[in-house]
Amino acid sequence: MSVAFRRESDEEHREPRFELPIPAGPNIVTARGLDLIHARVTELEAALAAADEAGREAVARDLRYWHTRAVTAVVAPAPDADEVGFGSDVHIRLRGSERRFRIVGDDEADPAAGLIAWSAPLARALMGAMAGELVAFGGEPDAVEVLGVG
User: CB of 60 within 8 A of CB of 47?
Assistant: no
Distance (Å, rounded) from C-alpha 13 to C-alpha 24? 32
Pairing of strands 89-94, 140-149: antiparallel
Q: 63-76 pLDDT, tens per residue?
A: 999 999 999 999 99
Cα dihedral 127, 22, 65, 68 in deg (nearest 10) = -70
Decide if pLDDT at 5 tops 80: no
Decide if pLDDT at 91 tops 60: yes
pLDDT of residue 6: 59
